[in-house]
Amino acid sequence: MTPPPPPPPPPPGGVTWVYHNGAFLWAGDWSSPSVINYKDTAGIPPAGAFDISVKPNQWGIWQPYFNGNCQTNKAVCFDTTPYTYLIFSIKATKAGQVLKSNFMSSGDTQDGLVLTDLSAYCGALTVGAWVNCKVPLAAYKFTNTSILKFAIGDETGNTGQLWYLAEVGFQ
């Protein structure tokens, strides 16, 4: 598979999408031990024909990567400097779900903080309702703004906490 070219900086206020209108736009994902369905309709997508269903085992995550070659070549990583936020929509299926998120840089190394509770950026998750999240990239306190991948997961540690994602991007 040919790696995607680095996206140009977005226009002011624009979005560079990871998943948009039912289409996954990055190179792939390393979501383990989760079962990911990019063509889900059970979540009743807020935009497009599909959403992403994420059915993790305990501590499972959704983890898209930009370019697998970023593991050894920082020049092909995703540059976050033109962006201010990670944005996405999420739909919980169980009460008490808590979101976490983190980023990894070249060499598959943790970059910045793991945010273990995104409620400050998403509000309370409501079972069966889509909630829009807008997480400031500054909250992660990156030491390297070129990233390989990021993750969104359920922090509860319960097995089978199905949830849905849509409209994931950088703004």
Q: Where are the domains of the chain?
A: 16-170
Cβ-based neighbours of 142, under 8 Å, separated by 6 or more:
80, 103, 111, 112
pLDDT at 76 over 90: yes
Q: What is the pLDDT of residues 19-46, one digit of tens each?
A: 999 999 999 999 977 899 999 999 999 9
Residues 90 and 24: their CA atoms lie apart, in Å, by 15
State the virtual CA torsion across 73, 74, 77, 80 in degrees, nearest 10. Answer: 180
pLDDT band, residue 119 (cuts 50/70/90): very high
Task: Compare 103 and 155 and report the one with higher pLDDT.
Answer: 103
Q: How large is the average pLDDT for residues 3-26?
A: 78
Q: What is the pLDDT of residues 129-143, one digit of tens each?
A: 999 999 999 999 999
Question: What pLDDT is stored for residue 33 in this prediction?
Answer: 79
Mean pLDDT (the chain, rounded): 91
* Fold assignment, 16-170: Jelly Rolls (2.60.120)
